[in-house]
Amino acid sequence: MYFYLNLFFIYAISGYLFETITMSLMHKQYNSSVLYGPWTIVYGMAIIIMIIIFLLVKRLKLSESKEKIVYFFTITIVLTILEGLSGFIIEKTRHVVYWNYDNLPLHIGHYMAVEISTLWGLLSLASMYFIIPRIKEKINRIPKIITNIILFLFIIDMVISFML
C-alpha cells in the first residue's frame, strides 16, 4: 500500500513541477492543480491507472513486444480519456481552463490531442518498463512516517481546497 501511495505522490509532485517549470520557461503563469499544494492529482491518478492497466496486460501472457504494443495503445486511450474528463470537470466545477489544445493540429476538443496522447503513451511505457523497475527499491525505503505526513498534508489540502 505504501509503495502505491508513494508512487502517487512522486508522480503528482513531479507532474506539478514539470508543468510549472515548462510554463515558466514559456513565460506563462500557470497552475496545474486544483489544490493549493505542489501536486497535480491527475498525474498521481495516472500512475495508479498505468499500474492497473500494466498488470491487466501482463495477464494476457503476450510476447514482450506485443505486450508493449497492447499496453501503449490501451494506456494512451485510457489516459486521453482521463485528461479529457479532468479538463471538463475542472472547467465545470472550478470555472477555469488549465489547458487547451485547440492550437494543435490533431486536437479532439479542448482537452485532448493525438500529439499529447502519444506523449502520454510513450511516457507510460518509459515509466512501467524503465523508470519504476529502477527506482522500486528506493521507493520501498521511504519511511512510512514520511508517507503518512505527506498523506496528512494532502488530505488537509484537499479539504481546504474543496471547501473554499
| pLDDT tens across the length of the chain (164 residues) | 999 999 999 999 999 998 888 877 876 665 556 788 899 899 999 999 999 999 999 999 999 999 999 999 999 999 999 999 988 988 888 888 877 888 889 988 888 999 999 999 999 999 999 999 999 999 999 999 999 999 999 999 999 987 86
Other C-beta atoms within 10 Å of 161: how many? 15
C-alpha cell at 125: 511505457
Residue 80's pLDDT is: 94
- Tell me the whole-structure pTM to 2 decimals: 0.85
Q: Where are the alpha helices (DSSP H) in 95-113?
A: none
Which residue is associated with the grid cell 498521481?
44
Q: Which residues of 39-67 are buried (b: 16+ CB within 10 A; e: fewer)?
A: bbbbbbbbbebbbebbeebeeeeeeeeeb
